[in-house]
Chains A and B, each alone.
Chain A
């Protein structure tokens, strides 16, 4: 068994998000925050903070808790 913990990332579909922020409340590493921009529905969507940085720097483990509580299936989770 590999001892190194796995890394992952999530993709948030901003147009599906309704800004309930349940994902923000469950993320164990607080990697989700609220966007300043509005989406077309008029909500401030949740954004993933590690967007665009190298995978080796990710704190996200791909635990999928955010996707589990997301009512709108706006979150896809990827893991090594």
Chain B
């Protein structure tokens, strides 16, 4: 008998504080597994957000530098420019990257900063109690839209990934989900490619990951995953939004 699945090396032996069924801890694991597969544990730097994942540095056994709310892309830019041989990624929620941090993110993508953003989209402000986020879909009930998001009053959800695909410096942008085993495997592939784009020195890469938030959706974890696959994907279709990476296998390493 050999072990075929267990805790990967880049994750500390710590229990996650996330709610039952939260997508964050799945995505933490996928990022850590990718780091170990690419064998970059000693030269990767993560930038956690403000939000539920603010304590990500408690779980990753890698170098991390916390950013002020929304400023992940700016902090990562500084880290990458001063230490160009490192692999720098930001880990941001939708409130962080698509609300308060929109300006930093768009300009970092447009400048073509060689960083990777992991954008976890759960459609609500999770940590503060489930208020409407820019990514809350039309009709979705949140604590500040108790009758459902009304497009006339509250606007329509922001498609940040599509906006970033228009930026000149972005190279690889994909939207995936962690609602099913198949999509979890796809998400890991997307994260790996995003890191490889950065390591090849091509430019800005981002993976948007639709993630269930059972607590604030007021659903069971299984129902929340089903809601992501049936309802959330109608607003945020899962697809490769931009891929100008070409054949990564042939690209020379960045060093």
Give the interface of A toward B (CB within 8 A): 8-9, 15-16, 18-22, 25-26, 43, 55, 62, 64-65, 67-69, 71-73, 75-80
Contacts and interface: CB of A to CB of B under 8 A. Distances in A.
Contact of B26 (A26, A62, A71): A71
Interface in B72-86: none
B157 interface: no
Contacts of B185: 68
Interface of B: 1-7, 11, 15-16, 18-26, 29, 180-181, 184-185, 214, 220-222, 225
Contacts of B214: 20
B14 to A, nearest CB: 10
Given A55-B1, A71-B21, A71-B23, 5 more contacts: A18-B21, A68-B184, A73-B25, A76-B3, A79-B2
A78 B4 contact: yes
Nearest to A25: B222
A19 B20 contact: yes
A62 B16 CA distance: 24
Given A19-B20, A20-B21, A25-B222, A69 B181 contact: yes
B4 A69 contact: no
5 contacts: A9-B1, A18-B21, A22-B222, A71-B22, A73-B25
B222 A16 contact: no
A23 to B, nearest CB: 10
B37 to A, nearest CB: 15
A36 B133 CA distance: 38
B19 to A, nearest CB: 8
Contact of B3 (A19, A20, A78): A78
A59 B68 CA distance: 50
A26 B181 contact: yes
B15 A67 contact: no
B184 A69 contact: yes
A73 B33 CA distance: 12
A77 B21 contact: no
A17 to B, nearest CB: 9
Nearest to A15: B15
A14 to B, nearest CB: 12
A73 B11 CA distance: 10
A43 B20 contact: yes
B222 to A, nearest CB: 5
Contacts of B26: 69, 71
